[in-house]
Amino acid sequence: MTVHTGQSTAKAAGEGARGRGRATGERPGRLRRALSTHWYAWTMVAPVVIVLGVIIGWPLGRGIYLSLTDANERNVGRTIGANHIDATYEFVGLDNYVDVLNDPIFVQRLVWTVVWTVCCVSTTFLLGLVLANMLNRQFRGRAAYRMMLILPWAVPGFVSVFAWRFLFNRDNGLLNKVLDGGGISAVPWLDDPTWAKFSVIAVNVWLGVPFMMVALLGGLQSIPGELYEAAEMDGAGPWKRFLYITVPGLRAVSSTVILLSTIWTFNMFPVIFLLTRGGPGDSTEILVTQAFRQAFVESPRDFAGSATWGVLILAVLMIFAFVYRRSLRKQGEVW
């Protein structure tokens, strides 16, 4: 089939294009040949490309365009019943970026977002690793333990966050009631900036551990048991076995989950928004919640400013992913 179509286009191309195509025609000819050889592949891929283009490419492009304008709720065009209002927003170039980058708030938010991401991901990873190791051996009731540890994952995120919000309530929350019983005075979980930061991290870790644990457990089970047996024969203790067999054996899995979890945590909107709304004050506001605030909480809604923050968040994550992959490749990881 491929041969057939290849021939037919060669024939078609040969009819008129040869004479003037001689000098410049080399490259388009090859491209067209590639296209005609793999036309079926392109057809198969087309729907996916189109769908991705519509649901990701177009909004992304539009977001970038908006970040170069001064669009807000007042000047975008809209028709409401009999009222028709024309769009009056203008192209302002890179003004929004200059404004945001000169605003000390951006740096503040970025610093806290990075601290939050690093704390969450490292704690989640370590806890996940410990739990996975504990569960990766034979003992009674293993299935029950696994079920219980997966539970946070099965509960919808907003439900668990609201549950935590009740637990953290300073005056009427369960946590402080328990502490009170132990003679410790009430902790201002969500009322004090430092405690609030601790609280949001704790909740996010609680939510994130099951994913880490399951992923790492899968990784652990793919490490052949003979390696451990051989190491044991050679006299390696548990710590050495962990360090020289488990850790390298998990590298492929762990590098992926760390990357994924970093990106998720960086943009973990629900935990912060539902637990503290960025408060007290603005002390737990991360980049995405700040962008949301501009687009949906403040009035008039600042679409351009929010889009600018969105593009900057995307840029930060892309730089991170790029650097991360480079460093992995240096260690010989094929990924």
Q: Is 311 in the site for other proteins (CB under 8 A)?
A: yes
Smallest gap from residue 178 Cβ to other proteins (A): 18
4 CB-near residues (< 8 Å, 6+ apart): none
Half-sphere exposure (Cβ direction) of 194: Cα atoms closer than 13 Å: 1
Alpha-helix runs per DSSP H in 169-237:
174-181, 193-221, 225-233
Residue 165 or 241: the one with the smaller Cβ distance to other proteins is: 165
Q: d(Cα 276, Cα 191) in Å, to the nearest integer? A: 9
DSSP 8-state class, residue 183: T
Residue 95 or 191: the one with the smaller Cβ distance to other proteins is: 191
Smallest gap from residue 291 Cβ to other proteins (A): 4
Q: How many residues bind other proteins (CB under 8 A)?
A: 62
**Candidates 31-39, 54-62, 204-212, 325-333; binding stretch for other proteins (CB under 8 A):** 54-62
Q: Which two tokens stand for residue 55?
A: 């649901």
Burial of 106 (0-12, 13-18, 19+ CB in 10 A): middle
Smallest gap from residue 169 Cβ to other proteins (A): 6
Q: Is 102 in the site for other proteins (CB under 8 A)?
A: no
Smallest gap from residue 31 Cβ to other proteins (A): 29
Residue from the set 13, 17, 64, 110 that interacts with other proteins by CB under 8 A: 64
Smallest gap from residue 313 Cβ to other proteins (A): 6
Q: Is 286 in the site for other proteins (CB under 8 A)?
A: no
Residue from the set 263, 270, 324, 325 that interacts with other proteins by CB under 8 A: 263
Please, what's the largest Cα pairwise distance for the chain?
95
Residue from the set 1, 48, 80, 144 that interacts with other proteins by CB under 8 A: 80
Cis peptide before 152 (omega within 30 of 0): no
240 CB-near residues (< 8 Å, 6+ apart): 231
Q: Which of residues 159-178 bind other proteins (CB under 8 A)?
A: 165, 169-172
SS3 content of the chain, % helix, strand, coil (to 5): 75, 0, 25
Q: Which of residues 207-236 bind other proteins (CB under 8 A)?
A: none
What is each CA distance from 74 to 5, 59, 85, in whole angstroms?
Answer: 56, 21, 9
Q: Which residues in this chain contact other proteins in the complex, by CB under 8 A? A: 56, 59-60, 62-64, 66-67, 71, 73-74, 76-83, 85, 165, 169-172, 190-193, 196, 263-264, 267, 269, 276-277, 279-283, 288, 291-293, 295-301, 303, 306-307, 309-311, 313-314, 317-318
